[in-house]
Structure 1
Amino acid sequence: MTEQGVRWTAEQVLALAPDAASHRAGSRLGAAGPWSGTGSGQGAVWGLCKGSGSRPYQTVVDLAGAAGPAYKCSCPSRKFPCKHALGLLLLWAADDGAVPGRAQPPDWAGQWLAGRRGRAEAGRTRAGGGAAAGPADPEAARRRAERRAERVTAGATELEQRLADLLRTGLAAAEQAGYGMWDEMAARMVDAQAPGLAARVRELASIPASGAGWPARLLEECALLHLLDQGWLRRDELPDPLAATVRSRLGLPAAPDGPPERDRWLVLAQYDVVEPKLTTRRIWLHGAATGETRLVLSYGAAGRAPELSLPVGLALEAELTAYPGAGRTRAALGERFDAPAPAAFRPPGVTTEDAAARYGEALRDDPWLESVPVTLDRVVPIPDGDRWQLADAATDTALPLSRTARSRPGLWRLVALSGGAPVTVFGECGHRGFTPLTAWPEGTGEAVPLC
C-alpha cells in the first residue's frame, strides 16, 4: 500500500494528466484553499473540493489498484483523472499537513473503495478458477486461424501486385493520385484482416507531400512493405522468432509466452498515441535486478483514456511476461505485489554512439523496428541550426532529436533542466532520431517526464 510516509512528487502526479488542459486545471487545484475533509490511508487519498455548486465534489483516489491508480469524483467531467483528482494528489504529494493520515476513510469514499476492491478480488478468483470451466474448442480455434491466414495471404499477394504496378508506372504517379489510392489499398488490407499492412499503407499516403526527397523515402517504405509481405508469404522458411515478429507486424493476435519475470520495475516513461478510433498508452519499465527494459501497452476506445496508468519515476514489484518475437521488448503486466512507490535507482546509461549501434543491431532481428529504448548518460541538448541534438559530454558524437521531439514542449523542459550541464535521458532511438521521454539531472535528482 502507498501510505502516509511514501508520497509521490508533483511531476509524477502531473504525468497522469490526460491532456494539457487537465494539467493546467489540476495544478491550480493543488492548493489547500478549495479543499476540506481531506485524508489518506489504506492506500487511498480522499477529499471534498468546493466547486460552482452548493455541494462540494467528493474525490477519492485508489493508489493500490491492480491496474494503477483509480479515480472517483462526483464532478461531471468524463476525464480520468479529472482536475479534482489531480489537484488532490498534488495536495497530498506536497506533504505539508494538508492531507493528514487517517485510519478510516469517510463512508462515501470507503464504500467506493470497498466495492472496487471487492470486484477486483472476485475477478482474480474467477481468473484463478477459469480452467475449471473447460478449455475453448481447440479445433474451432485452429479453423479460425486457418481462415484468417488464408485472407491475410490473399491480401499480401494483392499488395505485392499493387506495389509492382506502382514501381512499373513510376513513383510520380503516387504524387498525382493523392490519398484516394492509398485509402482504397488500406481498406483492402483491412478486409484481409491484416491491420498491420493497412497501417503501413496509410503511412505511405503522406510521404509524397512530406517535402524534398520524398521519392527516396517512399521507395524505402515500399521496400519494407514488400519485405513484410514476403516474410508472411514465406513464413514457413523463417526462424521461429522472426516468424513471430512478422505475425506481430501484420497485426495478428499473440499471447505472452515467456516465463514470468518478477522484479522491481521502474516506470521510465508513459505517453499516449491517439488515433481516430483508439488510444494506445505506451509504458516503459526497467527491471532493477534483470536490467531489462520492457514495453507494456494499454488501450482505450476513442475519447477514453486507457485504464492502466503508472506514474513516471515510481517503481513496483510485479511480474512481466514477454510476448513472442525477435527482441521480445513488449510484455504483459501480470501479478503486482505492491503499489507504485518512489524509487532511488535509475537505468544505467550509454553513449550516443552505443545507442546508435544498439538500434542497428536490433534491426537485424526486426527490420521494421522504428526505435529501441535507450538511456543516454551525460548528454547536453544543443541547437544545430533549426534543429536540436543531444551531444555526448564524454565524446565528440551526438544524436539528432526526432521531429516528434522538436514539436513537443518537453524539449524546452529538457533544455531548462540541463541548463548547459549534462543530464541522463531515457527515450526512443531510431532512424528518425532520438525522442527523449524522461530526464534526470546530475546527482540524485527526481525523474522529470518530458512527454
Structure 2
Amino acid sequence: MMTVTEAFVDSIALNAAAAKNGRDLVKKNSFAALNQSEDGTLLFGACKGSGKEPYRCSADFAKPESPVYRCSCPSRQFPCKHVLGLLYAYAQGRAFENAAVPDDIAEKREKAEKREEKREEKRQAEAEGAAEGAAPRKKTNKAALAKKIAAQLEGVELARKLALQIAQGGIASVDAAMVRLLERQMKELGSYYVPGLASSAESLVSLLRRAEGREAVYTEAMDQLTALYALLKRSANYLNARLADPEQGPDAATVLEERIGHAWQLAELREHGRAAKDAELAQLAFYSYADEARGEYVDEGLWLTLQDGAVVRTVTYRPFRAAKYIKEEDSFFQVAEAKELFAYPGGLNPRVRWEESRMRELTTGDIGRIAASALTSLAEGLKLVKNELKNPLALKRPALLLRARRLTAVDGGGYALEDEQGGRLALGDLGGALPPTAGLLELLAPGQLADVAVLVMFGHDLDAGRLTAQPLSIVTGEEIVRLTY
C-alpha cells in the first residue's frame, strides 16, 4: 500500500472546506469503526451521519497509482468528507483493526480486474497490430465530419464579422449598446462547434465591457483583437483544408485545434505520440485566478519533468456554477510519479495531464536535478521567449528556468538576474492574474540570491514595448523557495 500522509489527503480533497470537514470528523471521534484489510490495501470504516445508519466509506489501494474511494453517503462531492476523514485518521496514527474485505468491495474489485484484463488485451492487440504495420484505425465518417467542419466555418465567419465590427468602428466607439449587440452575436457562436473561438471573442468583449478607464485597456484590447483576427484567419485556412481532404487528421503539432475548441481525448494524444511512460514531475509554482470572461476558476501549476528538464503546465478549469463539485488544485510539494504523462500540443510550456500517479517525498537529489536543468545562457532564453511570443496563437506568458550567477539589487529599486556571461535581466511583476512576487526578493537570505536557478515568467509589456520577467521560484542546492503558491 502507498504511504498515506496528511499532505496526500490534502492533495485529493476537492477544496479547503472539504479537507477541514474531514479533519473535524476525526477530531469529533465520529468514526464508529476503523478497519484495514490484512494486506493493508484497503481502509474502510463506519462514520456517524445524519440518519440512523452510519455511512460506510472506504479507500481502496489495490492499485496504488489509481486509488478508488467509495462512500454510501449522498454527497456529490468526491472524495466526500467521510472518505477524507477516514484517510486523515489513518495518517494521524489512529488505531485501525484488521478485518476481512467486505463482500461488496470484493465483488467490485473482481469486476474491476476483469475490466482491466479486457483493456489490457485490447492494448496488446493494438500494439501487435502496430508492430505488424496493420494497426486498426477508426474509420472516419466523412459525411458527419464535413457537416461539422462546414458549421465551424460558419462560426469562424460569424466571429470574423464580429471582430470586423469592432475594428471598423474603432475600439473607442464601443459603448454599452454596442457591447450588448456583440454579446447577442456571441451567443450564436455556441451552435457552431467553436467554443475556443467563442471564448477568445468573449474575452475581448469582456475587456471592452469596462465602462471606466477605457483608455487604460486600449492597448490590450488592440492586442486581443489582432490575435483574434489571426486566429480566425488560420482557423479558416485550416478548416477549409480539412474539408477538402477529410482523411487529413487533426493538427497535433500546434494549439490551433484547441484554440478552435477541440477537446483532446487521451487516446488521441497517445495515438499522436504525445504520451510518455513513468514520468516524474516536481511542481515549482502554483496560482489560481477567476476568469470572468469564461465564467470559471483556473488553477495553474508550473512543473519540471525530472527526465528531460522541461517546464510544463497543469491547468484545471472549474466553472463558477459547479466549482464546489470539482477538485480545487493546490500547491504540491512532493514528486508526482505519473504512470503515463500526456502532453497537449503547445510550445515552450505544453499543458500536461495524467490519470494515474503516486507521490513520493522530494529529495535533495531531485532538487539538484532541477537546478541542473536551468538554461545557463540568458541570451538563449530570451531568443526562445521572443520566438514564442511572435506566434499570435502561442502562450502569452511563457516560463523558463534560468541559471543565475546572482540576483542583484539595482539602483532605483528592484532586482536583476545576472547570468554567468554577465547578461542582465530586470525583474518585475506582470500583473493581471499573477500575484506580485518581485518585491519578495529583498526578504531572502544572501545564499538564496547567488548561484541559483530561477523560474521566470515572461510577458510583453505592450505600452513600454519590452519584455517583463517575473520571478516565481528560486531553486538553491537544497531547497525550492516558492514566491507564489
Q: What is the TM-score with the length of structure 2 in the denominator?
A: 0.67
**Aligned residue type for 1:124:** R
Q: Relative to structure 1, is the Cα distance of residues 120 and 288 closer, same or farther in structure 2, using a 3 angstrom cutoff?
A: farther
- Tell me which moved more, 215-224 or 143-152: 143-152
Q: In the alignment, which residue of structure 2 is the partner of 1:18?
A: 14
Q: In the alignment, which residue of structure 2 is the partner of 1:143?
A: 143
Q: Relative to structure 1, is the Cα distance of residues 121 and 296 closer, same or farther in structure 2, using a 3 angstrom cutoff?
A: farther
Q: In the alignment, does 2:199 pair up with 1:199?
A: yes
For residues 114 and 201 of structure 1, the distance between their equivalents in structure 2, rounded to whole angstroms, comes to 47
For residues 68 and 450 of structure 1, the distance between their equivalents in structure 2, rounded to whole angstroms, comes to 29
**Match among 37, 47, 61 for residue 34 of structure 2:** 37
Identity %: 20
**CA drift at 1:293:** 3.9
Q: In the alignment, does 2:360 pair up with 1:360?
A: no
Residue deviations 1:205-255, cap 9 Å, x none? 221217351222211111100111121233489xx9797432321113553
Which aligned pairs between 1:179-190 and structure 2 lie closer than 5 A?
179-190=179-190
Q: In the alignment, which residue of structure 2 is the partner of 1:385?
A: none
Q: In the alignment, which residue of structure 1 is the partner of 2:233?
A: 230
Contact 2:58–2:83, Cα closer than 8 Å, also in 1: yes
For residues 339 and 375 of structure 2, the distance between their equivalents in structure 1, rounded to whole angstroms, comes to 26
For residues 167 and 358 of structure 1, the distance between their equivalents in structure 2, rounded to whole angstroms, comes to 31
**Aligned residue type for 1:193:** Y
For residues 383 and 263 of structure 2, the distance between their equivalents in structure 1, rounded to whole angstroms, comes to 31
Q: Relative to structure 1, is the Cα distance of residues 279 and 216 closer, same or farther in structure 2, using a 3 angstrom cutoff?
A: closer
* Local SS of the residue matching 1:61: strand
The alignment covers a number of residue pairs equal to 425
Which aligned pairs between 1:427-446 and structure 2 lie closer than 5 A?
430=459, 444=478
Contact 1:37–1:47, Cα closer than 8 Å, also in 2: yes
Q: In the alignment, which residue of structure 2 is the partner of 1:386?
A: none
Q: In the alignment, which residue of structure 2 is the partner of 1:246?
A: 256
**Aligned residue type for 2:116:** E
**Aligned residue type for 1:183:** E
Which aligned pairs between 1:328-339 and structure 2 lie closer than 5 A?
329-331=350-352, 333=354, 339=358
**CA drift at 1:177:** 2.7
For residues 352 and 26 of structure 1, the distance between their equivalents in structure 2, rounded to whole angstroms, comes to 48
Contact 1:59–1:84, Cα closer than 8 Å, also in 2: yes
For residues 89 and 443 of structure 2, the distance between their equivalents in structure 1, rounded to whole angstroms, comes to 29
**CA drift at 1:440:** 8.1
Contact 1:352–1:399, Cα closer than 8 Å, also in 2: no
Contact 2:282–2:305, Cα closer than 8 Å, also in 1: no
Contact 1:207–1:214, Cα closer than 8 Å, also in 2: yes
Q: In the alignment, does 2:449 pair up with 1:400?
A: no
**Match among 197, 220, 225 for residue 223 of structure 2:** 220
For residues 328 and 16 of structure 2, the distance between their equivalents in structure 1, rounded to whole angstroms, comes to 19
Residue deviations 1:70-117, cap 9 Å, x none? 3222333221122233333333334xx3255x7766427843762574
**Match among 66, 70, 73 for residue 72 of structure 1:** 70
For residues 114 and 165 of structure 1, the distance between their equivalents in structure 2, rounded to whole angstroms, comes to 59
**CA drift at 1:42:** 4.5
For residues 232 and 427 of structure 2, the distance between their equivalents in structure 1, rounded to whole angstroms, comes to 35
* Local SS of the residue matching 1:360: helix
Which aligned pairs between 1:260-339 and structure 2 lie closer than 5 A?
260-266=275-281, 268=283, 286-295=304-313, 303=322, 304-305=325-326, 313-324=334-345, 326-327=347-348, 329-331=350-352, 333=354, 339=358
**Aligned residue type for 2:233:** Q
For residues 234 and 273 of structure 1, the distance between their equivalents in structure 2, rounded to whole angstroms, comes to 34
For residues 286 and 110 of structure 2, the distance between their equivalents in structure 1, rounded to whole angstroms, comes to 28
Larger Rg: 2
* Local SS of the residue matching 1:318: strand
For residues 363 and 116 of structure 1, the distance between their equivalents in structure 2, rounded to whole angstroms, comes to 50
Please, what is the CA RMSD of the aligned residues? 5.0
* Local SS of the residue matching 1:146: helix
**CA drift at 1:200:** 0.8
Q: In the alignment, which residue of structure 1 is the partner of 2:360?
A: 341
**Match among 106, 112, 123 for residue 111 of structure 1:** 106
Q: What is the TM-score with the length of structure 1 in the denominator?
A: 0.71
**CA drift at 1:198:** 0.5
**Aligned residue type for 1:176:** A
**Aligned residue type for 2:18:** S
For residues 205 and 171 of structure 2, the distance between their equivalents in structure 1, rounded to whole angstroms, comes to 12
Contact 1:312–1:449, Cα closer than 8 Å, also in 2: no
Task: Provide structure 2 residue ranges, at least 5 long, that are not aligned to the other structure.
Answer: 130-134, 242-249, 462-467
Q: In the alignment, which residue of structure 1 is the partner of 2:91?
A: 93
* Local SS of the residue matching 1:80: coil
* Local SS of the residue matching 1:37: strand
For residues 34 and 352 of structure 1, the distance between their equivalents in structure 2, rounded to whole angstroms, comes to 57
Residue deviations 1:152-185, cap 9 Å, x none? 2333233333323322222233233364223223
* Local SS of the residue matching 1:79: coil
For residues 312 and 234 of structure 1, the distance between their equivalents in structure 2, rounded to whole angstroms, comes to 44
**Aligned residue type for 1:319:** E
- Tell me which moved more, 110-119 or 161-170: 110-119
